[in-house]
């Protein structure tokens, strides 16, 4: 999804820029030819249509023969390319129309220190010349928009990853919490009839579990004997005598590992789970 959105943003824009660039190059080179002729007092000869002979390679030709000084040609081309904001890396070859031999060439590589401009001051004799300009940018610089979009995409993916991780942890914790109740240092698993203290498992009987569930649901509250016996025994059709006291005693022994938990007897009333 993110890749598709990025492609929609980036590629149509790039294609539009390429189309505009191609037309801009042709207009610019045509103006180069016009200025080159004028610099040698030729205001009547025609500049022939500029042709893109290869991708990013253009050919400028003239109706008549011309002569020129290399330094002048370099200055005119460089000035017009900078004015049109075209690529600052390019190679220029001046070829003989008939033999296609290179009569003169120079290369501009972004910075003046790397530019190769030979034979300045030596006038090329009048002849039929083809001027070919090859834009040689090897790697397009990162546009600030590209960097910004990359940051947004990476940020979105990171957020999605962290969000999914957090949701997985939350679901896991929910499942764990639904399966057990915290009771001091113990974890009480009623469905599995057990208490867990660190790595130790303490088995509980069914009745012990039922009693402990009632106490945990009502911490620090007195629960009457009648309520306990009714919920655990009588509602199931069982009549008991001293069974409640016996199970309370068993629970006390199993909870004795934590001094913060006490099952206390409220004389003549019932029991209370003190936490």
pTM: 0.44
Which two tokens mark 27? 């207009």
- Name the one residue in this structure whose structure tokens are 């006490």: 262
Higher pLDDT: 134 or 110? It is 134
Q: How far apart are CA 103 and CA 93, in angstroms?
A: 8
Higher pLDDT, 257 or 132: 132
Give the integer Cα–Cα distance in Å for 81 and 76: 9
**Edge-to-edge strand order for the sheet containing 270-274?**
222-224, 270-274, 262-266
pLDDT given for residue 170 in this prediction = 60
What's the pLDDT tens digit per position in 111-158? Answer: 555 566 666 667 888 999 999 999 986 554 556 777 888 898 999 899
Nearest CA among 29, 28, 46 for reference residue 37: 46
Round to whole Å and give the CA distance between 215 and 100.
Answer: 102
More confident residue, 161 or 139: 161
Task: Burial-class residue 108 by CB neighbours within 10 Å (0-12, 13-18, 19+).
Answer: buried
The whole-number pLDDT of residue 33 equals: 92
Q: Is the model's pLDDT at 275 over the cut of 50? A: yes
Helix (H) or strand (E) holding 266: strand 262-266
Non-local (6+) Cβ contacts of 191 within 8 A are 179
Specify which of 25-29, 180-184, 185-189 reaches the highest per-range mean pLDDT. 25-29
If residue 89 lies in a helix (H) or strand (E), which one and from where to where?
A: strand 89-96
């Amino acid at each position: 999804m993110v890749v598709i959105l990025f492609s929609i943003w980036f590629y149509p824009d790039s294609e539009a820029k390429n189309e505009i660039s191609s037309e801009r190059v042709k207009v610019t080179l045509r103006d180069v030819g016009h200025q080159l002729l004028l610099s040698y007092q030729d205001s009547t000869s025609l500049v022939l249509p500029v042709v893109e002979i290869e991708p990013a390679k253009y050919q400028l030709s003239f109706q008549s023969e011309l002569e020129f000084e290399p330094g002048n040609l370099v200055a005119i081309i460089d000035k017009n390319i900078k004015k049109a904001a075209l690529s600052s890396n390019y190679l220029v070859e001046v070829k003989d129309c008939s033999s296609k031999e290179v009569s003169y060439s120079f290369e501009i590589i972004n910075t003046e220190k790397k530019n190769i401009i030979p034979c300045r001051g030596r006038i090329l004799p009048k002849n039929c010349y083809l001027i070919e300009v090859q834009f040689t940018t090897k790697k397009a610089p990162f546009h600030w928009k590209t960097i910004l979009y990359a940051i947004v995409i990476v940020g979105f993916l990171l957020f999605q990853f962290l969000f999914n991780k957090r949701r997985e942890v939350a679901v896991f914790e929910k499942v764990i919490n639904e399966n057990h109740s915290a009771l001091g240092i113990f974890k009480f698993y009623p469905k599995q009839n057990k208490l867990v203290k660190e790595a130790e498992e303490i088995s509980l009987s069914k009745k012990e579990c039922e009693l402990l569930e009632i106490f945990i649901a009502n911490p620090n509250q007195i629960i009457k004997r009648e309520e306990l016996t009714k919920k655990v025994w009588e509602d199931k059709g069982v009549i008991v005598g001293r069974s409640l006291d016996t199970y309370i005693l068993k629970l006390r022994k199993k909870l004795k590992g934590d001094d913060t938990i006490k099952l206390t007897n409220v004389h003549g009333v019932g029991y209370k789970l003190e936490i």
